[in-house]
Structures are given as structure tokens and as C-alpha cells.
Structure 1
């Protein structure tokens, strides 16, 4: 699965100049870390999800030099129905996300920090919502390797002295 994720992220960039290609920082359990220009990120694919509608669903934590903390980004497997909540669950803790269409994020910096803390010790991350056709969407991610991938991304994008 990780090899498929890495290939899906890197192959589209092969037509671009060499400097624009994401640099792999390593694969860690179910997660991988990359540096892409000025940003770094830890990313994974869902362990279980309904078939996506023409895009690749993922969960990621993006990190930018000079910015404190990372930012959660979820690409849903199906487009979210307007007005439907997006809930993220990590081992019994529930967080409400914000967003629209096929993307969701933590509501604010505090929620981002709480989610990332829970990801470091959690086993599973589940994202649930309703799709535009009214079907339940339930994307399941395994968190094994998430903490190490997040740390690798943070170190790679740490401000240089």
C-alpha cells in the first residue's frame, strides 16, 4: 500500500522539472513523509474507504517553515453533501472538521494540535460524513507510523540556522 501511495504522489511530477518533484523523507509504517519545495508533509491513504470519485483520498499533516505546528488535511473518498458534518474519530475521541466538497480540515489551530496529539498515540483514525448522493462515507486510516512521519516532516522543514 505504501509503495502505491509513494508512486501515486511522485509519478505525476515526473513531467515537471526535477526540482519540483517531492523528495521522499521515508516510509514509516502506513505513513510516508515528503518535502515538496517550501513545505513538508506526512501522508497516508485510507485502509478502508468506498471507491473514490476520480481522485485519491488521503490524510495528511502539512508543515511549513516558520509556522508553528502542522495542518491536518483530509481528502475524502466521496464529495461531502452540503450541510453534512465531517467527524474525525481517533480511538474514542471525536473532532468536528470543517471544509467542503472533497476536502476537510481542523476547525482551528487548537483543534489541529489536539488531533495531532491524538494521532501520535492512536491506533485508528476514522472520517465520517454524508456524500452528495446521501450515502454514508466512512474512511478508515491506520495510524501506525504517523508520529514518525510527522516528526520527519517537521525536522525537514525546521527553520535553518
Structure 2
């Protein structure tokens, strides 16, 4: 059901596969391939994605769209099992601070069962967006293969 919602919410693109609650897609211009999921429950259009842009040499880059706008100066933390990652953030988006952290996040996703992104909303309330990781590793691999040898 989540996969269908993802498909309906996105502009036309190549579907590389749906794996658990994660989907893998390819856009032609600019060429990018990505794995993406919506959080468990919640509303709005939050997502977590792992993407690659072969033309720019970018691989397995994390991007999180938060379910709410975060408070100014509020930290954003990604938790996967026992691992914690501090993310860089805009008002409602967050990213790993560097490629090394992207790689560590992807490795943790491969071994994890769920992940949560935690911060504080503009109203001062703490919130977390939680993602099931079943199918995530396969979707990440499918996205990487979808752009392999291209760009």
C-alpha cells in the first residue's frame, strides 16, 4: 500500500522495483537513481531516500524530508539500532554531513530493522519519523544497478 502511494505521488519515472516498504526508481534527466520510503504512519509528504547521480559522481546520498518543520537550531538525529548520526538540516530536510556518513548510514540501514529521525518542531514539541527497513537494502541495490554504467 505504501509502495502504491509512492508511485501515485511521483511524476513519471522508471520503476526499478518495490521491495517491502521501499521503492527503487530512475529519472532520466538529470540521470538519478534512488531508493525511497515513507515513514510508518504520519501525514504530509515526508520521506527518506538514498540516491545517486552518476553524472556528478554522487553515490548513496541520504536525504530526509521531515514530517514537520523543525525549530531553528534544533538538532536532527538519525537513529538506526544502536547507531546515532547527527544530520545537517534545513527547515524540513536533512542530509548526512559528508560522503563518509552517507556510507555509514547505508551500512547501518543494511543491518537495521527500523530507523527514526528525531528533532524538535517549531512549536517546541519533539517528534520522530520512523521507517521500516525491510526491503531497504534491496531497493538501494536496485537503484545502484539502475544507474550502473550510465552518466
Q: Please report the TM-score for the alignment, with normalisation by the length of structure 2.
A: 0.92
Which among 80, 93, 111 is matched to residue 121 of structure 1? 111
| Runs of 4+ residues deviating >6 angstroms | none
Structure 1 residue 40: Cα displacement: 0.5
| RMSD, aligned CA | 1.4
Within a 5 Å distance, the mapping from 1:104-143 to structure 2 comes to 104-143=94-133
Q: Secondary structure at the match of 2:64?
A: strand
Structure 1 residue runs without a partner (length 5+): 14-20
Structure 1 residue 160: Cα displacement: 4.2
Which among 25, 43, 47 is matched to residue 36 of structure 2? 43
Structure 2 residue runs without a partner (length 5+): none
- Figure out how many residues of one structure are paired with residues of the other and give that number: 147
Determine if the alignment matches structure 1 residue 149 to structure 2 residue 139: yes
Q: Please report the TM-score for the alignment, with normalisation by the length of structure 1.
A: 0.87
Return the index of the structure with the highest Cα Rg. 1
Structure 1 residue 48: Cα displacement: 3.3
Which among 49, 54, 61 is matched to residue 65 of structure 1? 54
